[in-house]
Amino acid sequence: MSLRIVAGSAGGALAGAVAAALDTEPVAADLERFPDGELRPSVDGVQGADLYLVQHTGPPVNDHVVELLLLLDACGRAGAGRITAVVPYFGYARQDRRRQAGDAIGIRVVADALASAGAHRLIVVDPHTAALEAICEIPVEMLTAVPVLARALGQKIPAGAVVVAPDLGAVKLAQHYGRLLSSPVAVVRKIRLTGTSVTAEELIGEVRGRPAVIVDDMISTGGTIEAAVEALLNQGVAPEITVAATHGLLVEAAEQRLSRSSIPELVVTDTIPQHDRPTLPLSVCSVAPLLADAIGRLHRDEPLDDLLGHA
């Protein structure tokens, strides 16, 4: 089967970089939008292809999810031989359990919809929950951008830095960074008050006088990072606090919160495109080489073991 990279409207620049790394040209989908907002995509030139559809499902999440579903259906109806949804940021991954009776489990709904729309396989980068692989009825390749970010951090952070997990859910992630950076790990125990408000209750680990690197899989409103920075400063950490995350959603008051936290550097990837944020010291690492490597191996039926996020 021939290799084809198709870009959704939310995957354009990244899809182009992935296609260039694979020495091919991306296939442009025709996205017709009706006056009432309905979308009618169409795709040509993919008959019998091993097709990889690149589309993140970050903000506006619902628009990008629906577009992805319609594009998957269009690719199938255009005769693609094998269809892989490449979703660098997987929206709804935080909705993986019920907190009370009557809650929806959003991750399951979206995963089922992707399979029903025609995806034969799913590629994601650092999903918020490893449960996605068990929930989804199609094979899921969960890549990790941690080595990409760790290489960048290794050139930026001062010697003797401690890696900090901003909550208990990020401990395994922080340990992965700690191994790659040969750094000790500290943990902040937080309590989430609302969707945007977080308070830090306890800091476990020795941070006094040391520079710190706070790591997480995503930064949404910035509340978790703000609380972690405050906890570190209260424990006498050195002022050099770097923050790294795979997915920089940076919604609502995130930019304001992180700006007033006086973070010297914020490092994210391009799983979600970043626009100019003049008040943030933002550095962006591309996951295009990672995605291209994974796609190339899958196209050649080669293993992905060293690219997966099982560490």
Annotated catalytic residue 190: yes
User: Quick one: how far is CA 68 from the chain centroid?
Assistant: 16
Residue 13 identity (one-letter amino acid) = A
Cβ within 8 Å of residue 15, ≥6 positions away: 5, 6, 7, 8, 26, 54
Cβ within 8 Å of residue 225, ≥6 positions away: 166, 214, 216, 219, 243, 257, 258, 261, 263
- CA gap 8, 5 in Å, rounded: 10
Strand partners, 76: none
Max CA separation in the chain (angstroms): 61
**Catalytic residue (choose from 108, 128, 190, 210):** 190
Indicate which residues carry an active-site annotation: 190
